[in-house]
């Protein structure tokens, strides 16, 4: 089924009433994206020789949940666009974004409830725990905006919650539905955490060091919004007093253009070897993910699809 992830997501029928509730959901779900989470669920399912199509509804549940978080996050961040289209609160309004998002969260549980019930005792607590963690991660992220002394450990914990646990959950759901052993379920969950950490750190990296052409969005948004990313926190940690002063001044001044601000901050990052440090940390997470993949008790040829995906994520430019 691995080729058909987009198809199984698009097969979901949103043609219900009231249309003002379901149309914004259809709009959100059809807007594409990487479909990374359902892909991970499916890859894990196939790796452990899962049979039939029981993974379909779990994959749908997790993609609906992910898109629910984007919908509400975009509203909270007041983001005008997502994937080159107006966000739901922009195209409709804030109330529509709130209520359609709520319905998506419930729909995610509905699809989870379409999986064979003998798996619910494992799937439901995992999904619920993950969903709460994602909310907690989002709250920590919002809290960080107004806290000055975030340490890098806090940041790692935030991205673990906000991003990594959902990737790990997707992989583990695939493993559960394929009747993998408890050890393998645990190992693939840990692999998902490592992969998710690398994934988010790469996002931070690309926001400054990607190109507009490959990213499809402006480079430097995190700098302009003074976002406490791994890059900034590491730079602040490594900087001497004079560098720190220049960095804080460049980040917070309103006297220079956006382009000048991005350029100045990037130059300080470069002075401090931030891109190299960031690449190294990302690499370490990928090594960890691959080591965990080694430990999984299936023939190595079964591991190829996940290995390929990990490598694809590693070299991605967007």
Is 51 within 8 Å of 45 (Cβ atoms)? no
Is 227 within 8 Å of 205 (Cβ atoms)? no
- Please state, in angstroms and rounded to a whole number, the distance separating the CA atoms of residues 101 and 67: 8
Among the listed residues 254, 278, 250, 244, the one whose alpha carbon sits nearest the alpha carbon of residue 264:
250
Q: Is 12 exposed, middle or buried (0-12, 13-18, 19+ CB in 10 A)?
A: middle
Q: Beta-carbon neighbour count of residue 251 at 10 Å?
A: 19
First-residue to last-residue Cα distance in the chain: 25
* Smallest distance, a copy of itself to C-beta of residue 2, A: 28
What 3 state SS string does 104-135 have?
A: HHHHHHHHHCCCCHHHHHHHHHHHHHHHHHHH
User: CA separation (Å) from 7 to 1, 35, 114, 160, 171?
Assistant: 10, 11, 18, 29, 19
Binding mask 114-133 for a copy of itself (x = CB under 8 A): ---x--xx--xx--xx-xx-
Of the candidate residues 140, 189, 205, 285, the single one contacting a copy of itself (CB under 8 A): 140
Nearer Cβ to a copy of itself (105/277): 105
Nearer Cβ to a copy of itself (10/129): 129
Where does this chain touch a copy of itself (CB under 8 A) — which range of 99-107, 178-186, 252-260, 280-288?
99-107
Is the bond preceding residue 18 a cis peptide, omega within 30 degrees? yes
Nearer Cβ to a copy of itself (111/286): 111
- Please state, in angstroms and rounded to a whole number, the distance separating the CA atoms of residues 81 and 63: 19
Nearer Cβ to a copy of itself (129/280): 129
* Smallest distance, a copy of itself to C-beta of residue 150, A: 13
What is the four-CA torsion angle of 255, 212, 281, 285, rounded to 10 degrees? Answer: 140
Beta-strand runs (E) in the chain:
81-82, 85-86
Nearer Cβ to a copy of itself (165/289): 165
Is 258 within 8 Å of 220 (Cβ atoms)? yes
Q: Beta-carbon neighbour count of residue 101 at 10 Å?
A: 23
* Smallest distance, a copy of itself to C-beta of residue 138, A: 6
* Smallest distance, a copy of itself to C-beta of residue 17, A: 7
Where does this chain touch a copy of itself (CB under 8 A) — which range of 104-112, 177-185, 234-242, 267-275?
104-112
Binding mask 192-231 for a copy of itself (x = CB under 8 A): ----------------------------------------
Residues 64-83 binding a copy of itself (CB under 8 A) are 72, 75-76
* Smallest distance, a copy of itself to C-beta of residue 182, A: 18
The yes or no reply on residue 102 touching a copy of itself (CB under 8 A) is: yes
* Smallest distance, a copy of itself to C-beta of residue 160, A: 14
Residues 11-30 binding a copy of itself (CB under 8 A) are 16-18, 20-21
Of the candidate residues 52, 135, 211, 311, the single one contacting a copy of itself (CB under 8 A): 135
Is 253 within 8 Å of 261 (Cβ atoms)? yes
* Smallest distance, a copy of itself to C-beta of residue 47, A: 27
Given the rule CB under 8 A, which residues bind a copy of itself? 16-18, 20-21, 72, 75-76, 94-95, 98-99, 101-103, 105-107, 109-110, 113, 117, 120-121, 124-125, 128-129, 131-132, 135-136, 138-140, 142-143
């Amino acid at each position: 089924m691995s080729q058909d992830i987009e198809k199984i997501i698009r097969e979901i029928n949103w043609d219900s009433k009231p249309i003002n509730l379901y149309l914004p959901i259809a709009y959100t779900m059809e807007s594409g994206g990487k479909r990374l989470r359902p892909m991970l669920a499916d890859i894990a399912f196939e790796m452990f020789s899962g049979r039939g199509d029981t993974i379909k509804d779990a994959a749908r549940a997790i993609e609906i949940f992910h898109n629910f978080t984007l919908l509400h996050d975009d509203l909270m961040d007041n983001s005008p666009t997502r994937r080159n289209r107006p966000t739901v609160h922009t195209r409709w309004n804030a109330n529509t974004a709130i209520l359609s998002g709520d319905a998506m969260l419930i729909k995610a549980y509905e699809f989870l409830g379409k999986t064979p019930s003998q798996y619910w005792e494992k799937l439901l607590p995992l999904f619920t725990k993950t969903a709460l963690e994602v909310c907690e991660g989002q709250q920590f992220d919002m809290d960080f905006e107004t806290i000055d002394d975030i340490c890098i450990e806090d940041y790692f914990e935030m991205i673990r919650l906000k991003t990594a646990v959902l990737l790990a959950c997707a992989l583990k759901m695939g493993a559960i539905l394929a009747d993998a052993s408890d050890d393998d379920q645990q190992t693939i969950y840990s692999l998902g955490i490592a992969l998710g950490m690398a994934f988010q750190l790469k996002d931070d990296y690309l926001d400054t060091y990607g190109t507009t052409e490959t990213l499809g969005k402006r480079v430097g948004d995190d700098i302009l919004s003074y976002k406490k990313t791994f890059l900034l926190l590491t730079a602040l940690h490594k900087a001497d007093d004079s560098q720190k002063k220049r960095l804080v001044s460049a980040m917070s001044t309103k006297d220079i253009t956006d382009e000048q601000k991005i350029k100045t901050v990037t130059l300080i990052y470069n002075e401090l070897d931030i891109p190299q440090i960031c690449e190294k940390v990302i690499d370490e997470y990928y090594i960890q993910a691959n080591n965990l993949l080694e430990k999984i008790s299936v023939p190595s040829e079964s591991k190829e699809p996940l290995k390929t995906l990990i490598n694809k994520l590693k070299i991605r430019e967007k």
